[in-house]
Amino acid sequence: MSDPATRVAVVSGGATGIGRAVAEALAARGFAVAVGGRREGRVQEAAKALEAGGARALGLPLDVSETDSVEAFYAAVEKSLGPADLVVNCAGHARPGKLFEKPPEEIRAEIETGLLGTLLFSRRGIAALLERQLPGDAVFVSSTSAVTPWPWLATYAATKAGVEQAARSVALECEGTGVRCLVVRVGNTVGTEWAVEWDAQAAPAYEAWQRLGLIRHAGLLQPEQVALAVLRAVEAPRGVQFDHVSVNPEAPGDGGSA
């Protein structure tokens, strides 16, 4: 197993939600961590919090849908922390709404961040690993909506389905190189910033999801629980390939009654 203290991780969308939790979990294990996001103040705050915990950390502005931004991010990471051998794709965005009612620019923004951005961010990180002939991991955070019809989130679901298919294909392209590709498919999770920003207009979406059984119980994952799954998978010894992990919330108990 690789020594975490020698590993460098890059996390897109690392300032909030699942990305922030993943960055914190990796830092606690000794990884050097670079977090990227569009809001520079947020990523700087996240990096300072990681440093306060004793980690080597870096916070950088990052728009995963822009190749120049992706290149600048990786160049800064390599200069400050060294080559990244763990690439974690957490950047994403969604707003609930029926496809035929959503503004075209909103559809485009979700696709550019969730699918195009994931491909561009992964491409740069994996290419650097292969060029240096280094082993490493690329993690693609997905959603149950990738495989289950999820009305009011059609665009988001499409990006996640695309991400999973891309990850499976890239895994075959990297076979035998020492670069492992992992999909972490996540169930209903609380604490993602873009979900927090949903307003009262999302109420019909929640009603539809409950009616269709997509929200079967009141259990919700915490970002830290998702991060634990990521951490355990990427710390698997070399020679072991986790290519898919599903993480779902457990149903709340009834107090132990028989």
Residues noted as catalytic: 142, 156, 160
Distance of CA 103 to the CA centre of its chain: 25
Tell me how far apart the alpha carbons of residues 207 and 177 are, in angstroms, rounded to a whole number: 47
Burial of 109 (0-12, 13-18, 19+ CB in 10 A): middle
